Amino acid sequence: MSPEEKKDATPEPQAKKEEADKVPGLLEGLETPKKEEPKEAPKPAAEPKPKAARTRGQDPLPEPEEKTEIFAVKTSIGHEKIVADMIGARAKKKDAQVYAILSPQKLRGYVLVEGRGLERLRTLIKGLPKVRGVVQGDRGISLDEILGQLEPTSTVEGINEGDIVELISGPFKGEKARVEQIDKAKEEITVALIEAIVKIPVTVKGEAVRILEKEKEEEK
């Protein structure tokens, strides 16, 4: 081989080497694409665990609240207002759940009490004088049943001229008298004392007398 041929043949391996050296440079700056990993399916939400049942020893349940009812307290006749005052005073002192006390004029021998629970009321009135207990029925008294007792009435209603009455208050308490005149506007009556030597008219309030005999009965 001539020297010129040797010169022409020599650079070929060098050119290939340069091209080989350049190949890595073409990949510089390029990122190899990453394989996407399969996404995990979302895990189902955990079901709530059932709450453990409560036991009375561990976690006492609240007691149901007693509803408000109206009860009739039986009293000695003529002492209704006194009993009502005593029940009110004791309820206030003991902070009992009593919301109303009523002593209707028409309802003799009874006091109406609005409160919570029959047993609570029995405990409250226990030992009070002139109290004979609570009228016990299948249920409490409804408001409709006592509306007739709430209407105001005149204290002279039912009293007629000629009736024999007994004075239950005032200076002539215990004396018998005959009704001479009635003033419905002022709710007063004028009576004449039966046992008095001199007939002296006495004017008293209608609530200060108690009827002993009706005028018609006396005529018979």
Tens-digit pLDDT string for the chain (220 aa): 555 555 555 555 554 445 544 444 444 444 444 555 555 555 655 565 555 555 555 555 555 566 788 889 999 988 999 999 999 999 999 888 899 998 887 788 999 999 888 888 999 999 999 999 998 765 677 777 777 666 667 788 889 999 999 999 888 899 999 999 999 889 999 999 998 888 889 999 998 999 888 875 444 4
Looking at the chain, the domain(s) classified CATH 2.30.30.30 span 164-219
Residue-level pLDDT at 152: 67
pLDDT given at position 219 = 45
Q: Which fold has domain 68-150?
A: Alpha-Beta Plaits (3.30.70)
Q: How high is the pLDDT of residue 30? A: 43
CATH number among 2.30.30.30, 1.10.10.10, 3.30.70.1150, 3.40.640.10, domain 164-219: 2.30.30.30
DSSP string, 65-99: PPPEEEEEEEE-TT-HHHHHHHHHHHHHHHT-SEE
Report the C-alpha gap between 83 and 90 in whole angstroms.
11
**204 in helix, strand or coil?**
strand
C-alpha Rg value of the chain to the nearest Å: 52
pLDDT number for residue 34? 53
* Cα separation, 92 vs 80, whole angstroms: 18
For CATH 3.30.70.940, the residue range(s) in the chain are 68-150
* pTM score of the predicted model: 0.44
Using DSSP's 3-state secondary structure scheme, residue 5 falls into helix
Q: What is the pLDDT of residue 32?
A: 46
CA-to-CA dists, residue 10 to 17, 20, 87, angstroms: 12, 17, 132
